[in-house]
Structure 1
Amino acid sequence: MSALEDLVRPSLARIVAPGDGYAPERGEDEYWGSGFFIAPGWLLTCAHVVGKGGAQVWRSRSPVGVTWQGGTTTGEVVLAKPRPEPAQASRGRWDFPDIALVRVHGADDARCIWLSDRAPTIPAPVSLHGWSRQTGALGLRHGVGEASGRDGKALLLTGALPVEGLSGGPVVDLRHGSVIAMNKGVRQTEGAAVPVTALRELYDVRGGDILHTVMREHDLHHLARFNRPGAGTDWTRVQTELRDPGVPGLTPAQRLHLYGHLAQLPPPSGPGEIADLVQEAKSRVVQSDFRSPFPEDLRTWREGAALLHGLRDLGDKAGRPELDLDAVLLYAAKAALHTVLARPGDTDPERLRDFTRWIEEQAVLYAQPVIREDIARLLDDVRRPEAPRFRGAVPASEPPSRTGADVLVDIGEPVYGERYPLSVRLLYDGRDVTPLYSNDLGVRRHELQEHLREPLAEALRLGDRGEHLAVIEAFLPRALLDEPIDEWRLVPEGDGDGAAGEGDEYEETDFFDEQSMPLGLRRTVLLRDRRRNAKPPIPEWRRRWTATERGPLSGIPLRGESTDTGHASGARREGRYGTLRRLSGSGDGCVPVFCGPVGSGAGRQAMDVALAAGHPLVLWRRDGHDHDECRTFHRSAARLLSLAGRAEGLHAHVRDLRIGASDPDIALSEGLTGRIAVLYDPPDRPPYGTEPMRPPPLAGPQAF
């Protein structure tokens, strides 16, 4: 038996039907699948494995049976994703991430695997582990293969493939000595596994904050085993043996101690908080402000450090090809200081002293002099957080932290019939654009929300930072300007946010959770004209935008026959040139207002004219209604524009109006009607498809 197999076996578990124990002769349905301990008392498996127990198990109302080297006990499903459709609750296809976290009673002494801290390098030699009854009798199964590629969220396997019963078992990277994935299933000649980075998706499930505790216990468990006298072999020592002799950079033992210290810090508030510190450390060490065009959805301090070990300066400017120790130690010092400044009451002083002492010792031994000085200054500020953060000049090569990002959603003109291509990007600092998702084949209009839901959720997580709440800017074809993007939700209506069952057994959604409430009730959602933004701005557009930024704002009918005196049935329709004459001659601070949809018909014709006349703001009602309601709508719009004062002021007042109109009692008492939509289309924002992309970071995974 290899050293790695010897480490994996004690952490393996069988997931079985609850009862007095497990005996194979009790029937095939008693055995559900495999699992493995990632922290004392915490087990990871596939969602479809625990899904065999039905809604009661999924919703933690009924236990699962767990048998491992330490005995037989029960556990409860704490987090799981995706929520199954009713027909999938016990059998059938399960989409990715297909992952579940189980709290196991009486397993606090369980041996645990080492979870990889970053996405796997492809190709990679791997071993597959778990329980199987492929040969008839239930037994441990171990095979060797290769992680050969990716397909969407799946890690593809060749050679040894997952077989029946192996689902939920670990996939071990034989080169680095870490668990990189979990067996899921097989299709034809290749297997599919769930990368351990899919754990990040569970943070957004209701109760997902418990993962911070789990990962903390994971790192402290391994540190304790490494430091325990006479404990025998452990993951860190095996990783050290796998590492090529003489390879510079962060060692497995250094990484373990670093992660143990980081585990004692309060968890980060979001991905942006970690990404800022990673970028600062990387830019300082490499002496260039490289920004990755593919941001990571980081959730823990350890994941930030993982992006830095293996960092290399390919130009070897400083005479050292390996710079990861400099970057990792600088990042650690920055994380310590950030925690002291942002969460002063949540940091244990004694553990913080231990951390800073460890950083200091490592920096003296391994860091370059200039980085050592930076670290010393940061640690001095950690010890005296009331003093200014930088008592000397800030190094010129260190860029300021990004304050957050906004989200660009681009829905293109239809292709292949009525299919709209999609993309989601992040806009940093109003200039740098980073792609996150694209679908060039396109989807039908009724599928837009379904296909954009997950990319939007990821983009908003990455964009929100500190007090910055990411704005959604949707570039739309004019036929889609009535699409209610502000009413979209990040989870389907009725989704129990990770809980599952059948029929009425689903949990009620927490409406005021960020994932559940309509986007426009919490954050700013801007509608922008895709066609106009593909060209240089015309002078009228710039002039009118300057006026609306300055204010005041006033309303003007988008169509001449629909005014604040009402929309008389059978009134003569204004022609295009009449509309152009009136809108072109209006004051630069005037905002066209229309009591009806603008994606087709008379509203679309008038919207085309308003855009040609350079109007950056348009206010309308996207839903159907009686003509008698138009007088009320125009007067409400005039009041809204007066209160807003200028373009920037519209956001809060539109949001307030939407919240009020969503409540029947408020809407009735205040005379609020309709589903309001706003075109908010400033010129001179970066063209969403023509920004210069920055080069990727100079990083490459190395043996550690």
Structure 2
Amino acid sequence: MIDGFGRGVPGASDDTRRALMDLVMAATVRIHGPAYGYAPEGPGGGFLGSGFFIAPSWVLTCAHVAMGGEGRDVTVVYELGPGSGETSVKGSVVAALPEPPRGAAGAAPFGPAGGWPAPDLALVRLRRPVEHACVYVTERPAAFFGGGQVVYSGWTEVGGRLKRLYGQCSVQGTVGGWADPDEQMRLGGDVLPPGVSGGPTVDLTRGEVVGVLKSQLVGGMGGTSIGIERLRLLPVPPEMAASESDDDYQAVFHAHDRYHADRHTNGVGTGRTWADVQSGLGAGADRALSPQQRVMLLGRLAELPPPVSTHSLLDLLGRLPGVHSVDRYPAPRSWRDGLGALYENRRGEAALELVLRYCMSVIAAERPYVTPSTAVAEEALWNWVKWIAEERLPRDFRNEITRLRAAARHRTDRAQRRAWPAYGERRVDGEGPFVLLELEPRGWERDSYDWRIGVARHTGEVLPVREDSRGTPGQDLPARLAAPLTEAFRRCDEPDNPAVLQVAVVQALLGLDVDRWQLSPGGPPLGTVRPVVVRPSDREPPYSEDEARERRARWNRTWSVAMRAEILDCEDGLRVPVPTEEDLRALAYEAVPVLCRFGDRPDAETAAGLTRMALGGFHLALLRRGADRPDPVCADFHRRAADTLAGAGTAGQLPRTVQELRRGVREGRTEMYWSDGVALYYDDPHHPLPGSGQLLEAP
């Protein structure tokens, strides 16, 4: 009997469950400080907590465990099985989520409650090769666990000695919402003793690791677990990957999937594999693939180079028929994540067809790099798809995928970086997605804002990422928005091509220096790593058809011919009023206004000038922020602003030109100091704000 869609068989034998726990415990480790081995055995030997092997030579644990010693060095201690004896090996923390502020020593608490903030995960890389077991990690978000029970494993002190233990907890809900970076699974029904933090949380129904134990409930039963999908928040390399090792996330999960595929297909192995145990649990019931087929498929996907970017993977998924939105959780970034996103979309034969269509898209996808074995890996994946289709699907579908394979084989440009994708279009300037941040001041609360973040597509859709209407103090905005902005950027960025951030604010806040925000302690200003532009969110009066046509024509002109600067509010070092609407409309369509006297916040005269500029049909301008400067400074600013606009060419290049200026100022390039404080007013009429000036709305 099947207990629900995709769930296991309740009657799974005790032997199968014991085999599952043997696999879990064989991969569970304890973490010590770097001096372990020179100190006495037992709790006094620098014991920090638990962890587990997630892939060969990689350990996953909690950041508060791994960073609790001296610096980023730890010792990993493990046993392969009963009576095998302990093995210790040195390791280094290569990534912590989140990273502590620069200069923080060890695991000094820096969270709001004095502990390590969620997601509280750390990756440890071993310094030498050793033989060890690895867990099987789910490819889906933890919220899709198969039942109401999980088991855990870890180490704790018992009678003055460190002992391995495991237990079982009930899933009682979550702490935090699905869009919160600190969302955690609430566990109950068992006491989580000190030391088990960092150990694996295992879905008992499907036989796969879904999370990492984070905390225990003080004075009570249970605690919390962080979903394994939060590892997707690991930093993404800003440049195009040249090898698998350039991205820790891809390196870990490719090694994980190859490990399990190799052991399952090993012709001389005698022990039960994770796929064997999952099959015994009934984990493949009512699913498109059996556990054995799934592990083989994931192994083949892991032989291929990863997706070029999260954005390209989301595009690929979006082109598959009937795929539901995958925007709810941290967006997928690997082929295994994409496969996991398909599981809840179809059932039966339709589900299998969807999986195989996905595989064909992977075969045809653009590559960030190729290796000598890439063509062999593509052929191996195709042979697997063909074998499954011949066994289970009708001739019409088999003929369709054969045609897709023939089309992919005739492509000769996939070996080239940034080649035109086989499955879709390469974005061009003005048609790529961008991140939209809208800040709405709360008039009844001084310096407090409601906000919403979304991913805007060139089609006009805005896909919400996160919002907050409870009011955030202005000084807290950078820290509060860091996590959702980072997630939104990951959904848009391409290697070497970070997406634009458009900040929509009321006219009085156009001088807000979002480009100076730091999304991590000690990190670079936001405007130096990506283009940041501002646009007004105030409601505009309705335009006549002729006025709207003229405004579009003015905007389009700046995209097709070289721009030229028009200083509007400064003449011979003196402040002057912005010209009238009639005079502004008489300016050439390629003219770009420069407001030299804008300042930090527009005063009444500046605000009136901005209004006339907008009514005059201009959607593009340079705003010079900062306190009013002495007269002699203006001439150099005017000259360099004019040269910059002319040198940028067209409006499509201007956001990145301003980004380069900001980067140059930070790097101490004196020839760019003139641009310090410049903001780019960029009100694209082809991408109007959703909701007619209201906060972002779902499409």
Matched letter for residue 149 of structure 1 = G
Structure 2 contact 154–196 (Cα < 8 Å) conserved: yes
1:409 aligns with 2:437: yes
State which of 472, 477, 483 in structure 2 corresponds to 1:443: 472
Alignment of 1:153-168 (within 5 A): 153-160=183-190, 162-168=192-198
Which structure has more RCO (C-alpha within 8 Å, separation ≥ 6)?
Answer: 1
Give secondary structure in 2 for the equivalent of 1:531: coil
Sequence identity, in percent?
Answer: 30
Structure 1 residues 468, 174: CA separation in 2 closer, same or farther (over 3 Å shift)? same
Matches within 5 A, 1:36-55: 36-55=52-71
Structure-2 change in CA distance of 1:41 and 1:163 (3 Å): same
Q: Which SS does the other structure have where 1:162 is aligned? A: coil
**Equivalent residue, structure 2, for 1:66:** 77
Q: Using a 3 Å threshold, how does the CA distance of structure 1 residues 80 and 342 change in structure 2: closer, same or farther?
A: closer
Contact 1:34 1:45 in 2 (8 A): yes
**Counterpart amino acid of residue 610 in structure 2:** M
- Residue matched to 2:18: 2
Residue number in structure 1 paired with 2:138: 116
Give the superposition deviation at 1:238: 1.5
| Contact 1:21 1:72 (C-alpha < 8 Å) held by counterparts | no
Question: Does the CA-based 8 Å contact 1:65-1:74 persist in structure 2?
Answer: yes
- Report 1:526-675 matches (<5 A): 526-532=533-539, 540=547, 542-551=549-558, 553-559=563-569, 562-563=570-571, 565-567=572-574, 574=577, 583=584, 589-596=590-597, 597=599, 599-601=601-603, 602-624=605-627, 625-644=629-648, 646-651=650-655, 653-662=657-666, 664-667=668-671, 672-675=674-677
Q: Which residue of 2 aligns with 1:302?
A: 336
Equivalences for residues 446-485 of structure 1 within 5 A: 446-465=475-494, 469-485=498-514
Contact map agreement 1:363 1:372 (CA 8 A) in 2 = yes
Residue pair 1:134, 1:164 contacting (<8 A) in 2 also: no
Q: Map Cα deviations across residues 41-93 of structure 1 (whole Å, 9 max, x no partner).
A: 221111111212132xx1xxx44242434523122222222222437725550
Task: Tell me the alpha carbon deviations over residues 189-217 of structure 1, each in whole angstroms, 9 at most, x when there is no partner.
Answer: 55221111122222438986133232222
Residue 89 (structure 1) aligned with residue 80 (structure 2): no
Contact 1:249 1:325 in 2 (8 A): yes
8 Å CA contact retained: 1:311, 1:323: no
**1:343-362 alignment, distance < 5 Å:** 343-362=369-388
3-state SS, counterpart of residue 420 of structure 1: strand
Q: CA deviation at 1:135?
A: 7.1
Is this contact kept in 2: 1:542–1:614, CA < 8 A? Answer: no
Could you say what secondary structure the match of 1:2 adopts? helix
**CA distance 1:40–1:154, change in 2 (3 Å):** same
Cα pair distance change 1:401/1:175, threshold 3 Å:
farther
Which of these residues, 145, 162, 173, is aligned with residue 203 of structure 2?
173
Q: 1:401 to 1:368 in 2, by over 3 A?
A: farther
* Amino acid corresponding to residue 410 of structure 1 in structure 2: E
Give the distance between the partners of 2:587 and 2:410, measured in 1 at CA. Answer: 60
1:291–1:432 distance in 2 versus 1, CA, 3 Å: farther
Distance 2:65 2:566 in 1: 60
Separation in structure 1 between the aligned mates of residue 325 and residue 301 of structure 2, nearest angstrom: 24
Aligned to 1:330: 357
Q: Deviations over 1:287-316 (max 9, x none)?
A: xx7655547522221111111234327xxx
Aligned residue for 1:267, secondary structure, equals coil
Within 2, Cα distance between the matches of 1:333 and 1:183? 37
- Residue by residue over 1:376-396, the C-alpha shift from the partner in whole angstroms, topping out at 9 and shown as x without a partner, is 12223444434999xxxxxxx
Measured in 2, the distance between the counterparts of 1:344 and 1:447 equals 44
Q: Compared with structure 1, are the counterparts of its residues 369 and 567 closer, same or farther at alpha carbon in structure 2 (3 Å cutoff)?
A: farther
Cα displacement string for residues 252-304 of structure 1 (whole angstroms, at most 9, x for unaligned residues): 11111101111111122211232233233x31xx4xx7655547522221111
1:582 to partner: Cα distance: 5.2
**1:342-367 deviation line (CA, Å, top 9, x unaligned):** 64555444343332212111111123
Matched, 1:378 2:378: no
Separation in structure 2 between the aligned mates of residue 227 and residue 665 of structure 1, nearest angstrom: 58
Q: Specify which of 161, 167, 170 is matched with residue 146 of structure 1.
A: 170
Q: Secondary structure at the match of 2:69?
A: helix
1:271 aligned residue? 310
AA paired with 2:210? I
Post-superposition offset of 1:612: 4.1
- Aligned alpha-carbon RMSD (Å): 3.4
Question: In the superposition, relative to structure 1, how do residues 31 and 531 fare at CA in structure 2: closer, same or farther (>3 Å)?
Answer: same
* 1:419 alignment partner, one of 448, 456, 474: 448
Offset, 1:163:
3.0
Quote the offset at 1:114 in angstroms.
0.5
CA distance in 1, matches of 2:237, 2:423: 34
Q: Is the 8 A contact 2:63 2:120 kept in 1?
A: yes
Q: SS at the partner of 1:239?
A: helix
2:157 maps to which residue? 133
- Determine the structure 2 residue equivalent to 1:224: 262
> Which shows bigger deviation, 466-475 or 449-458?
466-475
CA distance in 2, matches of 1:585, 1:26: 83
C-alpha deviations, 1:398-439, integer Å up to 9, x for none? 994584421111111235612111221111233121111212
In structure 2, distance between residues paired with 1:665 and 1:388: 39
**What is the rounded CA distance, in whole Å, between the counterparts of 2:548 and 2:410 in structure 1?**
52
Unaligned runs of at least 5 residues, structure 1? 314-320, 390-397, 496-515, 695-704
Query: How far did 1:608 drift?
Result: 3.4
Contact 1:567 1:628 in 2 (8 A): no
Structure 1, residues 113-168: CA drift from partner, whole Å, max 9, x if none?
A: 10011102266321121112377653223222223333233222222353311100
Q: 1:74 to 1:400 in 2, by over 3 A?
A: closer
SS in structure 2 at match of 1:53: coil
1:528 counterpart SS class: strand
Q: What SS class does the counterpart of residue 153 from structure 2 fall into?
A: strand
- Aligned partners of 2:62 and 2:122 also within 8 Å: yes
- The amino acid of 1:181's aligned partner reads G
The aligned counterpart of 1:252 is 291
Amino acid at match of 2:149: P
Residue 211 in structure 1 maps to residue 235 in structure 2 = no
2: CA distance between counterparts of 1:447 and 1:558? Answer: 35
1:205 to 1:250, Cα distance in 2 relative to 1, 3 A = same
Structure 1 residues 52 and 378, CA gap change in structure 2 (3 angstroms): same
Distance 1:656 1:486 in 2: 12
Secondary structure class of the residue paired with 1:455: helix
Conservation of the 8 A alpha-carbon contact between 2:492 and 2:498 = yes
CA gap of 1:388–1:412, structure 2 versus 1, over 3 A, is closer
Match of 1:75 in 2: 90
Deviation of residue 676 (structure 1)?
1.4
**TM-score of the aligned structures, taking structure 2 as reference length:** 0.81
Tell me by how many angstroms 1:472 deviates.
1.8
Partner of 2:234 in structure 1?
A: 202
Q: 1:522-572 CA distances to partner (integer Å, 9 max, x unpaired)?
A: 543221101147x7556646523422421565544443xx32x1126xxxx
- Report the CA distance shift for 1:442/1:22 in structure 2 as closer, same or farther (over 3 A): farther
- Deviation sequence 1:217-258 (CA, Å, 0-9, x none): 211221222223452222111211222786252111111110
The residue type paired with residue 199 of structure 1 is L
Report 1:662-701 matches (<5 A): 662=666, 664-667=668-671, 672-689=674-691, 693=698
Q: Is the 8 A contact 2:596 2:624 kept in 1?
A: yes
What amino acid is aligned across from residue 227 of structure 2 in structure 1? P
The 2-side partners of 1:335 and 1:484 are apart by: 41
**Do the aligned partners of 1:22 and 1:30 also contact (CA within 8 Å) in 2?**
no
User: Which AA in structure 1 matches 2:304?
Assistant: L
Q: 1:222 to 1:22 in 2, by over 3 A?
A: farther
- Alpha-carbon distance between aligned partners in 1 of 2:375 and 2:404, rounded to the nearest angstrom: 16
2:461 aligned partner, one-letter code: D
